[in-house]
A = this chain, B = another copy of it.
Amino acid sequence: MSIVEEKLKELEEYLKVIEHYNQASALVYWDMTTGMPEKALDDRAETMSFLGLQAHNLSVAPKMDELIKFFESHVEELDDVHKRMTSELRKAYDKNKVYPEEFIKEISLACSKGEAAWEKAKNANDFEIFRPHLQKIVDLTKKSITFKPAKKNIYDSLLDDYEPGLTVEKLDKVFGDLRNGIVEILNKIKAAGVEVDNSFFKKTFSKESQQKFSIEVLNKMGFDFKAGRLDESEHPYTTNMGNKDVRITSHYYENEFTFALYSAIHEGGHAIYEQDIPDSLRGTGLNQASSMAVHESQSRFYENIVGRSKAFCKYLYKSAKEQFPQFADVDEEGFYKAINKVEPSLIRTEADELTYSLHVIIRYEIEKLLINDKITVDELPRVWNEKYKEYLGIEPPTDTEGVLQDVHWAGGSFGYFPSYALGNLYGAQMLNKMLKDVPNIYDEIAEGNLDSVHKWLRTNVHECASLYDPSDLIKRITGEELNAKYFLEYLDKKFKDIYNY
């Protein structure tokens, strides 16, 4: 064994220990949200935070630095994968290492208190309960930026945490195009005056029957139940312990047919990405998704581009009609339109495909203002409501349905929201290329056959794991940079057909 091989082995063992902690912590969290006895909460939260801290400490330990330095000084002996591994490890190490330990404790305490206060505030519809906590979190977030290398816009530092290389300059352009395009389509829909009926989705559907249908669809998607599970939690999410144990959760409402179904498809998209991460990248730290936005591109590709397509709705309709007498009077066209009904609404997670991105853009704009001291925490409810009025034409009657709806800020996740909309844009860019590679793909989709979709995504996206920065990945796949063009074209074509404008 050469010295490089020995060190690679040593690194692999070191990263494995970090994974043991992270995976144990992920399991604790999954358990906590899917059925842990309630009296265990305090103790288990401590255990989870302990495990997370061990992982963090190992990731910033001198030993880690020493290993990275070794590879940096032997870079000419490394293949491309290990070169990428070295630079990615360095980036992550420097990013994690930059914060004083005291600061990490302070911000993590502020966020855990913040999340509790947020929940209380949301339930009580009282922003004031959350305000002082949010103020603290915003202050600490701004302080966190001071530890990092200066950027053109201070918000760039936050964007870069979730989408490496992304800047306000780029995003303002892209989100500007996106916002204008969506508002234009929305106006055309309003003008068309077509009414879409989706009342049949509000009939009663048992939890068991919904779950069975979700499992059927997940199987069609290629979700591997031998390397994953589907459970129920308050809010749907995906977590994974490596690529051999990827867990989806959903939530069933007996008076709403589409929520659980599209949650399962969305989370299934995340999950399949994780299941497809190649074993060969173990021990390099590259065995993870490229970025949060690329992750969202996969979940939203399955949820919307595939899942809400006319073709897939053909299959869904056929299968649902066999299982649910509730749809006896519904025809295929009505089913498809109902699934795609556009209706400006207050809650992001319940938004339709068209208006969803506007919810995200509003949050992006507000975060940018807040972090750049253009507005204060006190002004948030007012600014929030104004933006909803401006972009969506509706105003939240309560803060619970407004500024208090998302947990992200309470958790200190500033800079994360844009990922959701970027996922839409990446997805449409990928679709454009996919249709060139597999022109008849919608014919297969209409049969409920998603194998070609999965194969294309696996090869082009999933198996690339963290081998490329997201901006390089999208260029590699499509030959183009991030842009809103394809998504807007896709939306326009789709909704023109549905709303006859």
Q: Which residues of A contact B (CB under 8 A)?
A: 16-17, 19-20, 23-24, 27-28, 31, 35-40, 43-44, 46-47, 50-51, 224-229, 241-242, 244-245
Contact = CB atoms under 8 A, between A and B. Distances in A.
B229 A43 contact: no
Contact of A242 (B16, B17, B43, B50): B43
Contact of A39 (B27, B38, B43, B227): B227
B27 A241 contact: no
A20 B50 contact: yes
A109 to B, nearest CB: 17
Those 3 A-B pairs whose CB atoms lie nearest each other, nearest first:
A40-B245, A39-B244, A39-B227
B35 A245 contact: no
A158 B96 CA distance: 49
A244 B24 contact: no
Contacts of A226: 37-39
Contact of A40 (B43, B51, B242): B242
Nearest to A229: B37
Contacts of A224: 39
Q: How many copies does the complex hold?
A: 2
A23 B44 CA distance: 9
A37 B242 CA distance: 12
Contacts of A16: 46
A23 B36 CA distance: 13
A39 B27 CA distance: 16
A23 B37 contact: no
A78 B244 CA distance: 51
A241 B40 contact: yes
Contacts of A27: 24, 27-28, 31
Nearest to A50: B20
A28 B35 contact: no
Contacts of A20: 46-47, 50-51
B37 A227 contact: yes
Contact of A47 (B24, B35, B36): B24
A229 to B, nearest CB: 6
Contacts of A36: 245
Contact of A241 (B19, B38, B43): B43
A302 to B, nearest CB: 20
A17 B50 contact: yes
Contacts of A43: 23, 241-242, 244-245
A50 B55 CA distance: 13
24 contacts: A16-B46, A17-B50, A20-B46, A20-B47, A20-B50, A20-B51, A23-B47, A24-B24, A24-B47, A24-B51, A27-B27, A27-B28, A37-B227, A37-B228, A37-B244, A38-B226, A39-B224, A39-B226, A39-B245, A40-B241, A40-B242, A40-B244, A43-B244, A44-B241
Nearest to A36: B245
A271 B70 CA distance: 52
A36 B43 CA distance: 23
B35 A229 contact: yes
Contacts of A245: 36-37, 39-40, 43-44
